Amino acid sequence: MAAFRFLRESPLSARIGMAIVLINIAAAILAPVIAPHGESQVVGDVWLPMSRDFPLGTDQLGRDLLTRLIYGARNTIALAFLITALSFLMGSICGFLAATIGKWTDQVLSRLVDILMAFPTLIFALMVLSVVGTSITALVVVIALLDSTRVFRLSRAVAMDIGVLEFVEAARLRGEGTWWVMTQEILPNALPPLVAEFGLRFCFVFLFIAALSFLGLGIQPPAADWGGMVRENAGAITFGIFTPLWPAGAIAFLTVGVNLIVDWFLHVASGLKEG
């Protein structure tokens, strides 16, 4: 019931955001059901204009653009979600460990993260991909690792604040182990800021994958992916055909949606200091 009331009091902007995210998730899950054609099925001529059969026209190989967009949602969102989840797992475990154990563990992990963060992420990812080649596994590991540095910073800071409170002290004196303190005492109290961060990180990862795919180094064709679709159809724009704007717009649309929700979340969590 509390959650329901929370949702009912949400401002308009957050509702728009939620609607956008829900539409995208629905498209991702139901892709095979709602897509009018097959993922990489060639159905007509190249770059056909919008028509009844092809609501958004066709792409550079004559595939239905709407179908590609729907499948693209599936591939891109699933991958971004997987990466964000992985980066949260790594980042928050290391962050909590650094904060609860302190001493050497903290020093080593923190300095390591400092170095990783001093390096521009896109350049780092490009260099790693040049060495290991572009595969989905490499993509997942590299982006999750880079992203987990931000999660590490946040979760370490939050855990530091919580770690000095009385109930954590009490648990320690009771003789509970590090793992118990981390999962039972710190984690539940660190959740709100981490959830808001999850949204922000998701946006970041999502845009990052899109950028890499756009550069031709992310998800490889023929799998549909929004960043890759922009790249493949980029040539059309000089002929006055706006095909690449659809996938690029889809990326922007989802990011705005998630940002609207996160904004509202942060607004609520920060105690409404400023508008």
Candidates 131, 164, 173, 272: give the one binding other proteins (CB under 8 A): 131
CB-count burial class (<10 Å; 0-12, 13-18, 19+) for 15? middle
Nearest to 146 by CA among 220, 205, 93, 190: 205
Q: Name, in order, each residue with C-beta under 8 angstroms of 207's C-beta and a sequence gap of 6 or more.
A: 251, 255
**Min dist. Cβ of residue 103 to other proteins (A):** 22
3-state secondary structure of 63: strand
Q: Name, in order, each residue with C-beta under 8 angstroms of 101's C-beta and a sequence gap of 6 or more.
A: 178
17 binds other proteins per the rule CB under 8 A:
no
Stretch that binds other proteins, among 31-39, 62-70, 72-80, 233-241 (CB under 8 A): 233-241
237 binds other proteins per the rule CB under 8 A:
yes
Nearer to other proteins, 28 or 251 (CB): 251
Phi and psi, residue 238, nearest 5°: -70, -15
238 binds other proteins per the rule CB under 8 A:
yes
Nearer to other proteins, 96 or 265 (CB): 265
Stretch that binds other proteins, among 66-74, 83-91, 172-180, 231-239 (CB under 8 A): 231-239
Candidates 40, 105, 110, 255: give the one binding other proteins (CB under 8 A): 255
211 binds other proteins per the rule CB under 8 A:
yes
Q: Report how far residue 216's alpha carbon sits from residue 231's, in angstroms, rounded to the nearest whole number.
A: 7
Task: Give the dihedral sign, CA 140/146/147/151.
Answer: positive
What single-letter amino acid sits at 274? E
**Min dist. Cβ of residue 100 to other proteins (A):** 27
Q: Angle 190-196-201 (CA atoms, 0-180°, nearest 5)?
A: 110
H/E element, 85: helix 65-101
What single-letter amino acid sits at 54? F
271 binds other proteins per the rule CB under 8 A:
no
Stretch that binds other proteins, among 56-64, 149-157, 162-170, 238-246 (CB under 8 A): 238-246
265 binds other proteins per the rule CB under 8 A:
no
Candidates 32, 120, 177, 188: give the one binding other proteins (CB under 8 A): 120
Contacts 24+ apart (CB under 8 A), 52-59: 56/243, 56/246, 57/241, 57/243, 59/229, 59/232, 59/233, 59/243
16 binds other proteins per the rule CB under 8 A:
no
- Interface contacts to other proteins, rule CB under 8 A: 114-115, 118-120, 122-123, 126-133, 203, 207, 210-211, 214-217, 227, 230, 234, 237-238, 240, 242, 244-245, 248-249, 251-252, 255-256, 259, 263, 274-275
